[in-house]
Amino acid sequence: EADIYQTPRYLVIGTGKKITLECSQTMGHDKMYWYQQDPGMELHLIHYSYGVNSTEKGDLSSESTVSRIRTEHFPLTLESARPSHTSQYLCASSELGGGSYNEQFFGPGTRLTVL
């Protein structure tokens, strides 16, 4: 079954720790995205990728970094976590262009709490 996975689902960590949020999709999609969402608020795009070795910053400035070494894998890393990074992080993927609407498929999210 084609799907998009995120691990961990919940993470509580102390200030200054390095963390990596994992995202994998089995749909063969070229485009992948990371969004940040605070409780009850809209989603803000923080990173996206058009394919392997392609990464771009989104509309919301973020101290996190991403990599795209394999089509199916798009991890997000925070070198030194701070309380201001506390949020929900959602990963998504979609097909590349084509003229029709390209649905974004979202993972279940990682809820990060930095103490």
Partner 1 sequence: QQQVKQSPQSLIVQKGGISIINCAYENTAFDYFPWYQQFPGKGPALLIAIRPDVSEKKEGRFTISFNKSAKQFSLHIMDSQPGDSATYFCADQGGKLIFGQGTELSVKP
The radius of gyration computed from the CA coordinates of the chain, to the nearest angstrom, equals 14
**In the 3-class helix/strand/coil scheme, how is 48-82 assigned residue by residue?**
EECCCCCCEECCCCCCCEECCCECCECCEEECCCC
Q: Which is nearest to 86 in space by CA: 47, 60, 114?
A: 114
Contact between 65 and partner 1 by CB under 8 A: the answer reads no
Contact between 58 and partner 1 by CB under 8 A: the answer reads yes
Contact between 90 and partner 1 by CB under 8 A: the answer reads yes
Q: Of 55 and 102, which CB lies nearer to partner 1 in the complex structure?
A: 102
Closest contact distance (angstroms) between CB of 14 and partner 1 is: 24
Q: Which of 11, 30, 43, 55 binds partner 1 (CB under 8 A)?
A: 43
Rounded-to-integer distance, Cα 57 and Cα 34, Å: 10
Contact between 75 and partner 1 by CB under 8 A: the answer reads no
Summarize as ranges the residues that interact with partner 1 (CB under 8 A).
Answer: 4, 33, 40-45, 48, 58-59, 90, 92, 101-109
